[in-house]
Structure 1
Amino acid sequence: MIVGQQPRPLTPHISALHFFGAEVRHWRRLRGLSGRGLGQAVAYSHSLLSQIETATRWPTPELAKALDEHLETGGVLQRLIPAVAQLREQSARLAAASSPEPGEVGLSWAGDTAAAIGTLRQLCGADLSEQPVVDAAWLPQALAEPLGRWMVTHKDPHLPVNTGSRRVGRADLDALWAMSAAFADADHRLGGGHARSTLLSYLDHVLAPMLKGQYTDVIGRELFAAAARLSDLAGFMCFDSGRQGLGQRYFVQALRLAKISGAVGLGAHILTDMAMQAHWLSHATEAIALAEAACHTVRRAGSPSSVARCHAVRARALALANDRTASDRALHHAEQALEKACHDSEPEWIQFFNATQLATESMYASDNLGRRKRVQATAAITAIADQTMQRRHVLAVTTLAAPHLPSPATDTAKSDVDQACQLLAMIIPMVPSMTSARGLDGINNIRRRLTVFRDRPTVHEVEAALLNAMVPTP
């Protein structure tokens, strides 16, 4: 890693290799060691350990043992080695039968409807066969074309006249929307890695033949809207489980499909999802641009809940840029819009956005702005006891726990460690089934900040419980 650069983001739920690297990084930081210092202590090169941490080199059982002993992990890394070894065997088999380099598949804005269908199928194929696009980086410069095309062009005037044998009717559309609701529910509850492979198979084997089938213009427009929603879900699942470049590609194709359908409200929703990803990656400029495009688009959608979500995510992006006044104003617009919403009249894909979700977005904005008291005050209205949306629960709880712990700008004496541990303990039952890299990142952030108090019984207990949940003893 080049000095001065941010560490490569790890995505533990992608694979055992990433999980191993994330745990090495976590325990090294926990013990206050630099990469070079750890290398000297265990007699391995700094370069090798850097590759292990960034999941670009396979660890050996001998290395895992040495790291466990020096970092005093309790055997966490050695317990991961069997899963890493199995993954290495699978990767070797795939490499032997790999397809050509996919290049920039999925990033371009297809010129016509037929090209859009082809691009989506190509992206799904590259994903299914685990070509290098799976590990692609998120590219801020790749947002310019789709954002510009969305804002300046109208919906496609004509759908293709397909000759496929598959006839598509109203019953097919009902099934597509029902499946999109089921996939969204799984994503909300357990995170992006839970049903992603199933969704991918559905896109390739069920949706793609429909897009190449026979349908009227009216049915076709809604068919492409359903395709846009399913592609958007694929993008969000990738984003949440750490596959950022792949997620960006699905989002771009979802936006293209939404343009074909003429579904402006859905397009605004996709832009908002893209803004959330840019925010998560700390790209404030891009997050603001995407959120503002969503706010501009959603005016034509007639959906108060969609308007509220667009402004709420814009508030979070502005908070990341430390624009307090504009962020507060955007939240006010979100509150006004949500007051006009009627749940049963809203599209299925935005019905989750309610007062609780808006309060949670407000909490995230306050956290970005360093408003410690506001974050803590939000606890009463963010429904952290609601276990049905586990990912939101984990993200909210870790955000709420953070202000109870010291940061470089706060006094250790003002910390409420027991309260932070109590909050963290609430989410331990969810950890084994959670497949959200964002959620795990939030948990590990709190774990690192608790190291100052590692000798306290409550800290020791919650750390042991978390480790047991994340890496169960065989």
Structure 2
Amino acid sequence: MDPSRRGVLTAGLYSAALTVPLFTDVAHAQEGGRATRPAGRIGPGDVVTVRTMTDRIADILDELGGGLARPMAAAFLVNTVLPQLRSSGEEKDRKDMLSAASDLTYLTGWMAMYEREHGLGQRYYVKALKLAGAAGDHVTYCRTLRGMSLQAANLGHGNKALQLADSAAQAAPGAGPRLVAFLRGQQAHAASMVGDRHQAFARLREAEAALSRADSRREAVGGYDRSAYQFHVAHVLYETRDLAGSIAALKESLKSQPHRERQGRVHSNAVLAQRQLELGHLEEACATWSAFLDDYAQLSTARGDDHFHTMRRRVAPYRRVRAARELDERARALADAKR
């Protein structure tokens, strides 16, 4: 049985009408609280183990894809983290463990969303919110709401995406500049989806200003950098009908994307190629799709599979053009190799 479907929660359909628990409602909840018979005793070392595993899984996600990383995360949650949440320990250690568990649960939900398991991803996100509230962890709570906003945006629920993005921002009044930039960027994306051009560009300016004040530290989970900001710019420009500007922003995003973030690059190149083709630049789109294939060949990713099938469908009418024909031949060989 897939461990992501056992013990933590069960799969289901995505619900745009889901009620999101407020931080104040869950801040004192005893999610995963003391069991009648504690499963053991936790200490600071156990928290470090969970945080280290979360970082390692995030690295595997970047380098090899969610198809490999998510089952590892789910199994670790079921077999190791859940028993520890039922364990006794000092109050500080228990709070720290709840926070670490929330971070890992958020990451697992992100991967489920990325792998098209949207109902499951949403349930992980809600679990992460409750764990973060029980831990008093504002950062993970707000970051999870932002992830839920992105999920709603990916599914075309613009109003819900904006509601969740605004809720995340409202729940983080004392956030540092990097988290502020992270949240403002998502607010900008969601605002552009509902046609609020003024708010979208205002939020982008706020995101850029906050990012300029952030330190250079990179976070393995839920980080925000110049590449992510430019990706948000690309979203806003596309929604406001500036196709050429969106393409330019995507190129800037790719320039500053760390080399090891292969999964993110697969998505960025796929989106860029589709927009280049939409603009009528077939050969440039084929070159970008070729770069997409370089990374896709090394990944296990359902979203990458979607992009791959979209590429083949979009290129098919242009097979008489040499660049399109060569791309299609390479894609056919890769599809045979992945069977």
- TM-score, shorter chain, exceeding 0.5: yes
Q: Does 1:270 align with 2:141?
A: no
2:15 aligns with 139
Q: Shift of the alpha carbon at 1:347?
A: 6.2
Q: Of the two, which has the highest radius of gyration?
A: 1
Match of 1:59 in 2: none
Q: Which residue of 1 aligns with 2:28?
A: 156
AA at the equivalent of 1:367: Y
Return the alpha-carbon distance in structure 2 between the equivalents of residues 245 and 157 of structure 1.
24
2:127 matched to which residue of 1? 253
- Residues 426-465 of structure 1 aligned to structure 2 (within 5 Å): 426-465=291-330
Equivalent in 332, 347, 359 of residue 205 of structure 2: 332
Amino acid at match of 1:263: D
The alpha-carbon deviation at position 165 of structure 1 amounts to 4.4
Alignment check: 8 A CA contact 1:431 1:469 kept: no
How far did residue 277 of structure 1 move? 0.7
CA RMSD of aligned residues (A): 2.4
TM-aligned CA distance change 1:256 to 1:154, over 3 Å: closer
Report SS of the residue matched to 1:383.
helix
TM-score, structure 2 as length reference: 0.90
What's the counterpart of residue 86 of structure 1?
none
- Per the alignment, residue 232 of structure 2 pairs with 361
5 Å-filtered alignment, 1:167-246, equals 167-246=41-120
Shift of residue 218 of structure 1?
Answer: 1.1
Cα distance in 1 for partners of 2:269, 2:338 equals 26
Alignment of 1:357-396 (within 5 A): 357-384=228-255, 386-396=258-268
Looking at structure 2, the residues matched to 360 and 126 of structure 1 have their Cα atoms a distance apart, in angstroms, of 32
Q: Once the two structures are superposed, what CA deviation does each residue of 1:234-254 show, in whole Å capped at 9, x if it has no partner?
A: 111110011111111111111
* Alpha-carbon contact 1:264-1:300 (below 8 Å) kept: no
Report the Cα offset of residue 444 of structure 1.
3.2
TM-score, normalization by structure 1:
0.66
Unaligned runs of 5+ in 1: 1-93, 95-120, 128-132, 407-413
Separation in structure 1 between the aligned mates of residue 231 and residue 308 of structure 2, nearest angstrom? 17
Using the alignment, how far apart are the partners of 1:286 and 1:383 within structure 2?
28
CA contact (8 A) 1:391 1:434 kept: yes
Large movers: runs of 4+ above 6 Å: none
The alpha-carbon distance between structure 1 residues 324 and 437, as it changes in their structure 2 partners (threshold 3 A), is farther
Matched AA of 1:390: R
Q: Structure 2: give runs of 5+ residues left out of the alignment.
A: none
> Is the contact between residue 366 and residue 372 of structure 1 (CA under 8 Å) also seen in structure 2?
yes
Per-residue deviation at 1:364? 2.4
Structure 1 residues 123 and 445, CA, compared in 2 at 3 Å: closer, same or farther?
A: closer
Kept in 2, the 8 Å contact 1:193–1:435? The answer is yes
Aligned-pair identity (%)? 22
Residue in 2 aligned with 1:349? 221
